[in-house]
Amino acid sequence: HDLARRPRRRPRRAPPVAGGPRDVEAMNLNSVTSALGSVKKAAARAAQRESPLEKNLREAMSNQNWGCPNSLMHDIARSSSHWEDCQVIMSELWAAVQEKGPRWRRVLKGLTLAEFLVKNGSERIIDDVRRDQHKVRCLFDFSYQEDGKDKGAAVREKAKAIIELVSDMELLRAERDKAR
């Protein structure tokens, strides 16, 4: 009857062995952490190795509260005559104009660059803007309020000016002649 009252003894666990489940979890976590660190370093190195064109585009279409120098826009316009560079330019430009309200400065700078390139860049830019003009037209209704002010008005006006420019051949020719 004494045996019935005695608590049951748990079987003894073997001491942890190197390579056991906890060590494997720790090794997996360490390898994941190490891999993430490597990816982060590789991304930082890649960012430092961006081309001069990519650097110019990043600066030209930043969300910062300052404009873009004309010399920078002229450099980008010159680059648009190279097929690969033109693709990079248009890809970045379309990404900028598709941003949402809080990044309205980037949208406006993207449109400003688009207008500049239509006037000063290669003919491919004009073709691309005409082909994808729906990406600009959707900005006719752009709206964003900041500090009680309508920041979308400038975006709407610039979008309408670009569509008018690429739709009117005489106006486009006159603007391109004036830009030369």
Block mean pLDDT (10 aa), the chain, length 180: 60 60 59 66 66 96 92 98 98 97 96 98 98 98 94 97 98 95
Write down the pLDDT at residue 49.
85
Residues, the chain, total? 180
Where are the chain's structural domains? 17-47, 51-179
pLDDT digits (tens, 9 = 90+) for 95-148: 999 999 999 999 999 999 999 999 999 999 999 999 999 999 999 999 999 999
Write down the pLDDT at residue 27.
55
pTM over 0.85: no
Write down the pLDDT at residue 30.
62
CA atoms within 13 A of residue 139's CA, in its CB half-sphere:
30
DSSP notation for 18-29: TTSHHHHHHHHH
Burial of 5 per CB tally in 10 Å (0-12, 13-18, 19+): exposed
Burial of 43 per CB tally in 10 Å (0-12, 13-18, 19+): exposed
Write down the pLDDT at residue 180.
85
CA 27 to chain centre: 36
What's the CA gap between 65 and 49, in Å, rounded?
Answer: 26
Pick the CATH number of 51-179 from 1.25.40.10, 3.40.50.620, 1.25.40.90, 3.20.20.70: 1.25.40.90
What's the CA gap between 38 and 114, in Å, rounded?
Answer: 37
